[in-house]
Structure formats: C-alpha cells, structure tokens
Amino acid sequence: MARLSDPITILKGIGPTKAKQFAQLNIFTLEDLICHFPRGYEDRTRLVPIEKLEVDTPACFKAMVMNTPRTAHIRKGLDITKVTVADATGRLNLTFFNQKFTTEQLQYGREYIFYGAVSGDFIGYSMTSPVFEAVDSPPLTTRRVLPIYPLTAGLSNASVLKAVRQALAICDAPAEIIPDAVRVEYGILPADRAYQAIHEPASMQEAEMAKRRLIFEEFFVFSAGLSLMRAKRATKKTTPYATTDLTPFYGALPFTLTGAQTRAILEIAADLQRGAPMNRLVQGDVGSGKTMVAAAAAYLAIQNGHQAAMMAPTEILAEQHYASLSKLLTPLGISVCLLTGSMTPKNKTLTRDSIASGQAQLIVGTHALVSDSTVFADLGLVITDEQHRFGVGQRSALAGKGSDPHLLVMSATPIPRTLALLMYGDLDVSILDELPPGREPVDTFLVDESYRARINNFIRKQVAEGHQCYVVCPAVAENDNLDLKAAEVWAETLQQTVFPDLRVGLLHGQMKGAEKDAIMSAFAAGQTDVLVATTVIEVGVDVPNATLMVVEDADRFGLSQLHQLRGRVGRGKAKSYCILTSHNKNNETLQRLRALCKTTDGFKIAEEDLRLRGPGDFFGSRQSGLPVFRVANLSCDLATLKAAQQASARWIDTAGTADTPEANALRARIAQLFARSEGTMN
C-alpha cells in the first residue's frame, strides 16, 4: 500500500514531464491528486438508439461498423476519415479529423460504443469525432458517469482520470473525520466511499451524494476549527475592567449616538467587565457609525490603563481614523499615534519607541502594526476595521502582540450570511441596524455616454452649492487592451477641458503614501472640488461634504464594491447622488446595475452579488481571508453549512480534546486548512 503523502511520481505513467504538468495544478502527492475533484460530470450511462439521438445533445449509442474506414489526405496536416455505422434503428456517417491511427481500430463488422453529438440538417445527420470503445473493453470513456477535471496545458482529462484511479487503487482515502453518529444523523457517506464516488460515481445520484459529503466535510473542518479557537480563548482569563464610565467620552462627542451605537457600546462594556477576552464583531451597513463604537471601546481600554490598537486595511483609512480619533480623544488627555508603512524610517522608529514605552495609548495603523518590530507595552484591545479585507489569521497575528487582548472586529457589512458565519463563526455579534438621523437614501442612476453633458452639468451644480464630488475610474492608466476610463487621463481631461475653473484632484493606489495623504487631506478640507480616484477610496473614507459619486464603467465593479463606493456619499445632512455610467449593452449586466439603483439595502445587494460572482470575486480582487474551499459553493450550500456547524459545535463539546483516531485526524485537518488560508491559530 502507498501512503497519501507519497509523490505522484510513484504512479505508472507519471514521469518528470507529467509531474510538472500536475504541479501546475498544485498536485504533488497522492493526496493532492485524490483531492483534485471533478468540476462536473457527463452522464454517459444511458445507451440511446440511433434514431433517438438528438441534434447537438451528446449521448452514447451502440453501433456496428458498416464499412472499412477510409482516410483521405486533404493537405499537409489535414486527414479526414469517414466511416458508416448502424444499429437496428438507423445509420449514421461518422467523420474524424486527423485521427487516422485511432480510426484504424474500427473494424468492419464489429460493434462499438460511441459517444458524441449528432449534427444535422435536411440532407441528413452525421457526427464528428465521437469517442468510442469496443463493446468488450472496460468502460473508460463510455457507459459511465465521466468526471470532468480542471485541467492545464498538456494534461488531458483521461490522463488525470487514469492517475486518480491508480491512486485510489494503491492507497487508502483520507481518514474519516466525521463521527459515526453525525454521519448517520445527517445521512452522509463514509469517507472512503465518498472519495471513491466523487471520482468514479456509478450514477449521477452517487456523484451528488459524494459531493454533499465532501462539502459537509469542508464546512465541518472549518467550523470545528473556529469552535476550537473560540473554546481555547474562552478558557483564558483577564482582569475585569474596573471602570466602564463613559460620561467624559459621551460629553466629547459632537452628536448624540444612535440607539444601535449605544447598544453596541453597552455590549462591549459588559464584555470588558467579564474577566475573559472579548471576541466581538460590530456589523453595520456603510455609514452606520462603527468608528465611534470602536472609539468608545478604545477609550475604556485606555481608562483601565491599557493600550488599544486599531488596524485599517488602507493607509488612507488609517490616516482618516487617526485624524478623527485624535480630534475626539486628545482633548480627553489620550495620546493617539499613527503607524503606517509609508512613514519615514525615522518617524516609524520614534512612533515604535513610544508604543514600546507605553506613552502612545491609542495606536492607529495599517498592517505595519503586525510587523515584528512593533512591540507594545501593554496591548489590551485590538480593533480591526473593515475586517473582511484581512485574512482570518491576521487578527490573531495582531492579537499575538498582547497577552490575550480583547478583540473587536468591525466589518463593512453587509456580507451574506454564509460568509459571515464562516468568517466570524467564532465571534459574538453586535449589529448597527440604524443610520444616524437625517440621512436620506442616496439616489442612484444608471446612464450611458449620451448623458455626459448632463453629468458634467450636475457636477458643476453640486460644486456651485458648496459640495464636492468623487469620480471613480476602473483603471489608473490607459491600457491598449481595455477601453476603460483611466483616472490619470480622465482627471487631466476634466481639469483641462471640462472644468478649467474648478479644482480637480487625482488619487490612486500607485501614489506614494505621503502624496495620497496630502491629496486626501486637501479633499477633506474642501480644497478640492472634484476628486478623480480609483477604488482606493472604496472603504471607510468619510468626507460628509461630498454629495456626488460618479462611477465610470460601473459594470467593471462588483455590486458590493459599488455599494461601498456609494457609501462614500450621503454621510452628511445634504441630499446625495450616485451616477453609474456604463456603455455595456449586456442585458444581465444592466440588470445587475439597475438592482443597485433600486435598493440601498446592503444586505440584499451582497446576497445578489455573491450569487452572481461567487465568493472568490466577492470582495473584488483582494483576499477575502477565507480558506480555499475545494467543493463547497458559498452561495448555495447554506443548508449544509448550517448542518455542519451544528454538528461540529456538538463535536467540540463532547470530543474536542478526545484522543481517538478520528478526533486526531480532524485536528490535523483543521491545522492543514488554516495553514492553507494563511491563518495562524492561537
């Protein structure tokens, strides 16, 4: 017997060349191969009589060869072989291109099983290049459910199938990790049968059952992992906060908190008094005021003698948080500092010194906070803003800078429930389901190029009323291949020819940190009228005086991304607008964009977006922080996810620390999965 960890080169037919091709698919070991699941199946189980074959619908049929195949050499590189086959119901002409040697196998008077699609018109039917097997040969490509694998150049479906089949024959499938009782309760196939059947199902139903088992398994491993993390943290002790008096903080606020904000803050205060580390997610739609909730938490940590750190996914956002939090908290005697990657080495060192000495109390920054050279004197509270931009493991990395600090995670919700369960399954949740008073929904319009003059007039009108505008472009610079608005060029055009009398700014991600800061501060201070930008402004940016968001080539963005972009306006008292431009004529695309015009409910938009784009693209091109699921589809496997979560929660209660082969195998798999998603467990 071979082992799962053995290299695939022990298989027959896999030498260095083939091994390199498999490596392209990240397949190195027998286990990788066995876990290389089909992306679909072709049902070739049923034999159809020739007269019942339907045009353009591939099917299997049994037929006798009625003449000796004839090959005509048309020109260099083109051979055409013709042969006629028949069954009791009819005849069919077959044509093969450049398959002289293959077709030599077809013998006059013998029966074969074919698989192919007929094409036909009023003259008659024919079939091009069907696959075939002799009736007495083992069913490899016909008379079976054929798995269709993800492939790479040089590697055929048949060679993957052959390799997988060999692997399954010479080594055991991955160990069973789902307890018997759970399998019975949820009607789940055992591991060995599932791994066999996903590759070689006897029927489409069996393929479905195998798939269901493997989806369940992935969710089970992941949620068991989250439960383990949670259970581990629950055993940790911290000193309960002695003071949770927020009166001075409330007194310093320029507005009254919403009911939802107050509720969240009270939930946080209760966590901090409990004597165990807090694990809390604050979820709220764009503009619901999450920053103030975080500020209250930081205030409490600092009043109790600890440091608080707030990590944001972009420098612009970190800058902005720094500006607003220091304005609010400095008068209360709190020392706020900023740490980002683009600061000068000298400034970074100075800041790090004050973090290490404990002089800095609230530290706002980017992932520079996680770097090895950042050492905290006493990190008591870790806040991650727009958490969906970070890997699941990154919040643990920052948490590792303190000794079991409290964790507060803020998410640019709404994200679909499936994703939320997955990413935040180990957290308690506070929901901000209320916007600050006086907010009117942003009016959204979808227009094409014919509206250009009107858009320009509208920008002018907003500016004349003392407001500011964003214009977001999908690209930074021009690209010959794509006909997209490029921020650099568009900013130039607007300034030079359209709005020579207005102040047009440009902001994109390829600029240096200091340059970005300067541009963003100028906009925040009202010194720029129109800011042309890329999606660097997508998350968090808060300039309440901006009332118009124009998104060029809006079809290039995901719905949730557009919702986030739209969230940059409508943050003050004045009526705000969002204009989406697109010259895309595709009906589906337009429908997608129209959906956004109709609703401002981010939750609905997120569900729709996930359905349309899948989880990989859900958060745009960036990492969503989710592990790589091989079979599970987050947009449609919600029921299985829930079942797996229930089951794994019970497993943790009863057998989380058990020393059975199953429990050990599960823990090993958890470690593997989290390593694959760059997470660290602690």
Q: Report the interface residues with ligand ADP, using CB under 6 A.
A: 255-258, 261, 284, 286-292, 436, 542, 544, 571
Say if strands 111-116 and 131-134 run parallel, antiparallel, or are unpaired.
antiparallel
- Report, in Å, the least distance between residue 472 CB and ligand ADP: 17
Q: Which of 12, 60, 514, 425 is nearest to 231 (CA)?
A: 425
User: Residue written as tokens 């895309």?
Assistant: 584
Indicate the residue among 61 and 424 with the shorter CB distance to ligand ADP: 424
On whether the CB atoms of residues 342 and 367 are closer than 8 A, the answer is no
Return the one option of ligand ADP, Mg ion, none that residue 298 interacts with (CB less than 5 to 8 A, by type). none
By CB under 5 A, residue 405 contacts Mg ion:
no
Return the one option of Mg ion, ligand ADP, none that residue 287 interacts with (CB less than 5 to 8 A, by type). ligand ADP
Q: Which residue is nearest to ligand ADP (CB)?
A: 289
Task: Name the CA radius of gyration of the chain, rounded.
Answer: 31
DSSP run (H or E) holding 317: helix 315-329
Indicate the residue among 113 and 292 with the shorter CB distance to ligand ADP: 292
- Report, in Å, the least distance between residue 291 CB and Mg ion: 5
- Report, in Å, the least distance between residue 261 CB and Mg ion: 13
By CB under 5 A, residue 656 contacts Mg ion:
no
Indicate the residue among 509 and 544 with the shorter CB distance to ligand ADP: 544
Return the one option of ligand ADP, Mg ion, none that residue 627 interacts with (CB less than 5 to 8 A, by type). none
- Report, in Å, the least distance between residue 535 CB and ligand ADP: 16
Secondary structure class of 41 (helix, strand, coil)? strand
Return the one option of ligand ADP, Mg ion, none that residue 255 interacts with (CB less than 5 to 8 A, by type). ligand ADP
Return the one option of Mg ion, ligand ADP, none that residue 571 interacts with (CB less than 5 to 8 A, by type). ligand ADP
- Residue 647 phi/psi, 5-degree rounding, is -60, -40
Q: Residues 6 or more apart from 643 whose CB is under 8 A from it?
A: 186, 216
By CB under 5 A, residue 289 contacts Mg ion:
no
**First vs last Cα of the chain: how many Å apart?**
36
Angstrom distance (rounded) from CA 485 to CA 619? 21
For Mg ion, the binding residues in 539-578 under the rule CB under 5 A are 540
Return the one option of Mg ion, ligand ADP, none that residue 320 interacts with (CB less than 5 to 8 A, by type). none
On whether the CB atoms of residues 62 and 87 are closer than 8 A, the answer is yes
Neighbours of 514 (CB within 10 A): 13
Q: Considering only the stretches 104-112, 122-130, 287-295, 633-641, report the one whose residues sit in contact with Mg ion under the rule CB under 5 A.
A: 287-295
Return the one option of Mg ion, ligand ADP, none that residue 108 interacts with (CB less than 5 to 8 A, by type). none
User: Residue written as tokens 């196998």?
Assistant: 105
By CB under 5 A, residue 147 contacts Mg ion:
no
Angstrom distance (rounded) from CA 55 to CA 639? 38
Binding footprint of Mg ion, residue count (CB under 5 A): 2
On whether the CB atoms of residues 325 and 364 are closer than 8 A, the answer is yes
Return the one option of Mg ion, ligand ADP, none that residue 257 interacts with (CB less than 5 to 8 A, by type). ligand ADP
How big is the CA angle at 127 (ends 126 and 132), to the nearest 5 degrees?
140
Q: What is the dihedral of CA 128, 133, 134, 138, to 10 degrees?
A: -170
Secondary structure class of 268 (helix, strand, coil)? helix
Q: Considering only the stretches 103-111, 248-256, 268-276, 284-292, report the one whose residues sit in contact with Mg ion under the rule CB under 5 A.
A: 284-292
- Report, in Å, the least distance between residue 260 CB and ligand ADP: 9
- Which residues sit at the interface with Mg ion, rule CB under 5 A? 290, 540
